[in-house]
């Protein structure tokens, strides 16, 4: 994804235009959208940084806040806010603070803001912010295929046995493990048992990958209480959707409430 910043505001004021101009002057693509889900969604695929320039109308933009929350949660997309402290409090009733990349209180320093965006859109830094997934499977063809599906969206590592997975995890951290249920020597259930017996790995989410879809097989998989299970016949888009939903489910969601 190319670096692109989408500035969202109720009005394309002088300061909103200045934000876009200053970003373009340092080589960062920028465009404008009103706080309208349809307008934002038209640009979502090419955008990796959303800048919400808030004003008193923010209370009328709840649908947009929910959309931005769901669009950025658990993904390599970032959301920055510019506004007053009261506007910030309103937004964080809908979007958890930990999901916000940064907040700039008005009046803000343009040079500091642009420097922040430049740092966020550094390609190495963007790669580091991606969720990390370890795929464990003895089928080399399947490993390569799933790696090619996910590599543009996540940091993906692959190993072809349970012992390799344990060795890799001794030196690396990961946000999710996709674990083959049927493997020789150390089966998926055996590997899961070892993971859960160690303090360093017992909190890592695990999804089983299985080629069996009959009722008894699925019952056996679920009995081990993985975070989820996926059939190996799953396609690319369905897998990406499953992962999106999973990582979004890990984010605490704030509800609107009275002070």
Q: What is the per-residue pLDDT across 225-248, written as a single tens digit (0 to 9) for each?
A: 888 889 899 999 999 999 988 887
Q: What pLDDT is stored for residue 55 in this prediction?
A: 79
Tokens standing for residue 19: 């934000």
pLDDT tens digits, residue range 130-164? Answer: 789 999 999 989 998 999 999 888 889 999 898 99
Domain spans of the chain, in order of start = 4-127, 130-249
Contacts of 104 (CB under 8 A, 6+ apart): 80, 81, 82, 112, 113, 116
Task: Kindly give the pairing relationship between strand 78-83 and strand 132-136.
Answer: unpaired
* Unique residue bearing structure tokens 């979502």: 44
15, pLDDT greater than 90: yes
Q: What pLDDT is stored for residue 257 in this prediction?
A: 37
9-13, 52-56, 231-235: segment of lowest average pLDDT: 52-56
**Superfamily name with CATH number, domain 4-127:** Response regulator (3.40.50.2300)
Q: Which strands, in side-by-side order, build the sheet including 176-180?
A: 155-159, 132-136, 176-180, 206-210, 228-231
Contacts of 48 (CB under 8 A, 6+ apart): 1, 3, 4, 5, 76, 77, 78, 121, 126
- Between CA 90 and CA 94 the distance in angstroms is 7
73, pLDDT greater than 90: no
Question: 130-249 architecture in CATH?
Answer: 3-Layer(aba) Sandwich (3.40)
Q: What does DSSP assign to residue 58?
A: G
Residue 242: which H helix or E strand, with range? Answer: helix 236-249
Tokens standing for residue 252: 């605490």
In 3D, which of 175, 170, 133 has the Cα closest to residue 154?
Answer: 133
| Beta bridge pairs of residue 177 | 134, 206
Chain-centroid distance, C-alpha 59: 26
pTM value > 0.75: no
Kindly give the residue spans of alpha helices, DSSP state H, lying in 92-235.
110-120, 123-129, 140-150, 162-169, 188-196, 215-223
- Residue with more model confidence, 63 or 253: 63
Tokens standing for residue 212: 């069996």
pLDDT tens digits, residue range 182-216? Answer: 888 888 888 888 888 888 888 899 998 887 767 77
- Between CA 104 and CA 99 the distance in angstroms is 15
Q: Which pLDDT band holds residue 109 (cuts at 50, 70, 90)?
A: very high
What is the arithmetic mean of pLDDT over 82-96?
A: 89
Q: What pLDDT is stored for residue 255 in this prediction?
A: 43
Q: Does 130-249 match 4-127 at the fold level?
A: yes
Q: Which pLDDT band holds residue 34 (cuts at 50, 70, 90)?
A: very high
Q: What pLDDT is stored for residue 59 in this prediction?
A: 65
- Residue with more model confidence, 79 or 227: 79
Task: Kindly give the pairing relationship between strand 78-83 and strand 102-105.
Answer: parallel
Tokens standing for residue 85: 């402290």
State the Cα torsion 169-154-226-196 to the nearest 10°. Answer: 20
């Amino acid at each position: 994804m190319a670096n692109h910043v989408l500035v969202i505001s109720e009005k394309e004021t002088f300061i909103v235009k200045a934000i876009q101009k200053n970003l373009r002057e340092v080589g960062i693509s920028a465009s404008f959208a009103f706080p309208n889900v349809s307008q934002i969604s038209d640009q979502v695929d090419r955008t990796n940084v959303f800048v919400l320039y808030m004003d008193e109308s923010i209370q009328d933009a709840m649908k947009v806040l929910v959309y931005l929350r769901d669009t950025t949660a658990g993904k390599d997309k970032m959301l920055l806010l510019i506004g007053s402290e009261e506007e910030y409090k309103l937004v964080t009733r809908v979007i958890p603070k930990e999901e916000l990349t940064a907040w700039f209180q008005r009046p803000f320093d343009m040079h500091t803001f642009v420097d922040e965006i430049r740092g966020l859109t550094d390609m190495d830094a963007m790669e580091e912010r991606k969720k990390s997934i370890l795929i464990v499977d003895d089928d080399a063809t399947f490993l390569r295929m799933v790696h090619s599906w996910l590599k543009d969206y996540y940091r993906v590592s692959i190993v072809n046995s349970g012992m390799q997975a344990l060795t890799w995890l001794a030196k690396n951290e990961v946000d999710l493990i996709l674990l083959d249920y049927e493997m020789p020597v150390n089966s998926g259930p055996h590997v899961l048992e070892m993971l859960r017996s160690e303090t360093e790995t017992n909190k890592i989410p695990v999804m089983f990958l299985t080629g069996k879809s009959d009722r008894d097989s699925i019952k056996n998989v679920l009995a081990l209480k993985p975070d989820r299970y996926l059939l190996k016949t799953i396609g690319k888009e369905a897998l990406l959707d499953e992962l999106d939903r999973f990582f979004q489910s890990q984010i605490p969601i704030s509800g609107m409430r009275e002070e």
